Amino acid sequence: MSPAPHEPRLRIGIDTGGTFTDIVSVDGGSGAMRITKVASTPANPAIGLVRGVRAILDAAGASPDDVAGLAHGTTVATNALLQGPISGLGLIVTAGFRHLLEIARQSVPVGYGNSYFWVKPERIVPLHFVREVGGRLNFRGEEIRPLDEASAHAAAHFFRDQGVRAIGICLIHSYANPAHERRVADIIAQDYPDCTLSLSCVVLPEYREYERAVTTLVDAFVKPHMERYLNRVHDELGPGLQHKPFLVVALDAGGTSTDLCLIEGGKPHVTNGGAVGAYPVRIPMIDIKTIGTGGGSIAWISREGHLKVGPRSAGAEPGPMCYPNGGAEPTITDANLVLGRIPPALIGGGVALDAARSREGLARLAKRLPGAMSVEQLAHGIIEIANWNQANAIRQMTIQRGIDPRGFALLAFGGAGPAQSPAVMDLLGMAGCIVPRDPGNLSAFGLLAVDWRTDRIVTKVMHEDAIDLPAVASLYAGLEKDAVDSLVRDGIDLARIRVAREADMRYAGQSMEVRVAAPAGAVDAAFLAALIDAFHAAHLRTFGYNYAVEQKIELVNFCVSGFGLIERPDIPKLAARGASTPARKSVRPVYFDGAFRDTPVYDRAVLSAGFRVEGPAVVEEFGSTTVVFPAQRLDVDPHGILIVRSAQAKSEGVR
């Protein structure tokens, strides 16, 4: 009798940050979860990734044969765009549209007042690397002038001679008819086979040529970077792991910044008007606001003599002053260490911190400020500035949109987040601060807890009086098939795939759209009526008014999202530990309200469900530290999640 086949059971999430690479493994059979951190390797992040995978397998007593799949979050693509320089990139456009990137949009970023003070950023492709091809389509996709293939051949020869290795193709109205764009791509591939191509009709078949062009160019630019990186990962993984399912997610996580997102009703806000640095990227993404305030953010003095915190960061190399081989300027981490709010060693004792060096750096900075400020006063001021930077960013995401943040809780994660988030909670009067289990590894865990997703969109403008329902049904059917086929190619079982429809709509005469959910099922008169009602309601909710009954609508973009449903890891409840109160790990002086106070320190691993402590207190764990400030209290819920509330919330009965 042959033995039963070995069933891989481990799913591994890897989040590569600037300082540490976080690893989480979940056993699909038992539900057991393990975490670890290893030092990141900026010169070749693949090395840190593989070290982390090997470490988590060793901790689990497992081998590569036990791995069912890996999910990896990386900043390789975004870093390539943000850190620059951007070179070796070309653009092909329709004749007459060579200055598409130069004209861009007339909007001026918030904070400049008017265009007099704003200098337009460098274009992603300089004008001399933009080439034109003859031929023209109208917005219906009908050919006005045939494609001039000679100009396409000339563009290919030009880019080859100039050594331009990545080319974006964005022809007018290719979203309505991709024939010209695809033929240009065939010619470029024939004449210059070594180049990387991105077509706007594939990347973003949506109107608005500027955003479509930039999104296509971003795709063309990051392709070679991601290809090189994934080849390195493939080589480093070795034969045992090379052929395991490997999901890559491009995300931004690290000690140099804080990322903020508003979540209502359990769903994060999503936008298709995001940007990477100065470049608009019109793809669906979580609406995240990033500010330059993280654990490695540097404290410095401006030319006017004002104390500033961030956005400059010590990063992974050299790191904060207190780190082994750390930098020469004090950071938020140094300030927290001097105030006693973080332990003298991080990562379970694996990274020893040098508090004396932090004090020296802060003392030098204090001498440059008026008022004979002590080291502790300066450290406190640095933390206060950082907290207000975060609080003001949250206000912009809530109050400026008509949302009261006092009805929300603040979810704190990352290695540095829980040390400061309870203070930010108080600044905004929020209902509470939630610290999940293993907050330093939450991004890696999230890679194992979200469904696979793919998005499709196409532009087809239809006035309400001329909506062609069979054409709408055909568009949705094509988008749905494309989304399902993509997920199947990624290895998702057809039975676990779901699709959701949306539409971008506007009132006739408007220039901007509102995205609304579209009904499933048959595309008929009832479908259209429900869609129009949903648009009126969304317009009222977004802008405070609508023109229901008064004005006709237009359908602009048809959108489909495909979801591959996964088996989400269960978050187990804490094991019962009896009625005894967990012993304090230690007591140490921590700086609060202008003085050091003897503060109890607890080990999170021994806290039981229902445990409560009044602040001040410190809770330490492997990858993070939670600070409970005076006039706050901390409760442990049945799943081991920490909930911090203010005394005011307690008195008002906030839950």
Distances (CA, A) of 151 to 113, 162, 167, 183, 184: 43, 16, 15, 12, 9
The residue to which tokens 């890891």 are assigned: 569
Average pLDDT of 472-484?
A: 96
Amino acid letter, residue 608: S
Average pLDDT of 112-118?
A: 63
Tell me the chain's radius of gyration from C-alpha atoms. 27
What's the token pair of residue 530?
Answer: 């429900």
How do residues 507-543 score in pLDDT, each as one tens digit?
A: 998 988 999 999 999 999 999 999 999 999 999 988 8
Number of Cβ within a 10 Å radius of residue 545: 8
Residues 6 or more apart in contact with residue 567 via CB below 8 angstroms: 28
**Residue-level pLDDT at 216:** 94
Question: In 3D, which of 508, 319, 437 has the Cα closest to residue 34?
Answer: 437
Q: 489: part of which helix (H) or strand (E)?
A: helix 469-489
**Residue-level pLDDT at 76:** 74
**151-155, 334-338, 562-566: the lowest-pLDDT one:** 562-566
What's the token pair of residue 247?
Answer: 């999901």
pLDDT at 2 over 60: no
Backbone angles phi, psi at 170, to 5 degrees: -140, 95
**Residue-level pLDDT at 472:** 97
What's the token pair of residue 417?
Answer: 């987040």
Whether 604 contacts 637, CB under 8 Å: no
Helix, strand, coil shares, percent, the chain, to 5: 35, 30, 40
Helix (H, G, I), strand (E, B) or coil at 81: helix
**Residue-level pLDDT at 251:** 44
How do residues 263-284 score in pLDDT, each as one tens digit?
A: 877 777 777 777 776 777 877 7
What's the token pair of residue 81?
Answer: 């765009």
Average pLDDT of 238-242?
A: 84
- Pick 596 or 579 by higher pLDDT: 596
The residue to which tokens 């008022």 are assigned: 371
**Residue-level pLDDT at 93:** 97
Spatial distance between the Cα atoms of 172 and 177, rounded to a whole number of angstroms: 10
Number of Cβ within a 10 Å radius of residue 635: 15
Spatial distance between the Cα atoms of 655 and 648, rounded to a whole number of angstroms: 12
Whether 418 contacts 627, CB under 8 Å: yes
Residues 6 or more apart in contact with residue 31 via CB below 8 angstroms: 569, 570, 572
Amino acid letter, residue 529: A
Whether 564 contacts 492, CB under 8 Å: yes
- Pick 442 or 589 by higher pLDDT: 589
**62-66, 244-248, 570-574: the lowest-pLDDT one:** 244-248
How do residues 453-474 score in pLDDT, each as one tens digit?
A: 899 999 999 999 999 999 999 9
**Residue-level pLDDT at 652:** 44
Domains 11-75 and 452-564 belong to one CATH topology = no
Burial track 414-444 (b if 16+ CB lie within 10 A, e otherwise): bbbbbbbbbbbbbbbebbbbbbbbbbbbbbb
Whether 459 contacts 555, CB under 8 Å: no
Spatial distance between the Cα atoms of 446 and 459, rounded to a whole number of angstroms: 33
pLDDT at 202 over 80: yes
- Pick 274 or 115 by higher pLDDT: 274
DSSP assignment, residue 202? H
**Residue-level pLDDT at 440:** 86
The residue to which tokens 């290919």 are assigned: 156
Question: How is the chain split into domains, by residue range?
Answer: 11-75, 84-226, 297-386, 434-449+568-655, 452-564
**Residue-level pLDDT at 252:** 42
Helix (H, G, I), strand (E, B) or coil at 157: helix
Backbone angles phi, psi at 99, to 5 degrees: -95, 20
Number of Cβ within a 10 Å radius of residue 206: 23
What's the token pair of residue 222?
Answer: 């990051």
Q: Work out the pLDDT band at 414, boundaries 50, 70, 90.
A: confident
pLDDT at 84 over 50: yes
Count the residues in the chain.
655
Spatial distance between the Cα atoms of 55 and 350, rounded to a whole number of angstroms: 14
**Residue-level pLDDT at 478:** 96
Q: H helices of 26-136, where?
A: 45-60, 76-83, 100-103
Q: Work out the pLDDT band at 254, boundaries 50, 70, 90.
A: very low
Whether 12 contacts 56, CB under 8 Å: yes
Whether 214 contacts 170, CB under 8 Å: no
The pTM score is 0.79
Question: In 3D, which of 207, 124, 194, 206 has the Cα closest to residue 156?
Answer: 194
DSSP assignment, residue 245? -
DSSP assignment, residue 640? S
How do residues 430-452 score in pLDDT, each as one tens digit?
A: 999 999 999 988 888 888 888 88
Q: Partners of 136 in the beta sheet?
A: 145
Distances (CA, A) of 314 to 202, 254, 293, 424, 584: 39, 11, 11, 23, 34
What's the CATH class of domain 452-564?
A: alpha beta
DSSP assignment, residue 627? E
pLDDT at 24 over 60: yes
Spatial distance between the Cα atoms of 367 and 119, rounded to a whole number of angstroms: 36
Residues 6 or more apart in contact with residue 406 via CB below 8 angstroms: 428, 429, 430, 431
Residues 6 or more apart in contact with residue 196 via CB below 8 angstroms: 165, 166, 167, 220, 223, 224
The CATH number fitting domain 11-75, selected from 3.30.1370.10, 3.40.50.300, 3.60.90.10, 3.30.420.40 = 3.30.420.40
What's the token pair of residue 215?
Answer: 């999104």
How do residues 611-652 score in pLDDT, each as one tens digit?
A: 999 999 999 998 899 999 999 999 999 999 999 998 765 444
Q: Partners of 573 in the beta sheet?
A: none
Average pLDDT, the chain: 88
Average pLDDT of 109-134?
A: 80
**1-10, 214-223, 387-396: the lowest-pLDDT one:** 1-10
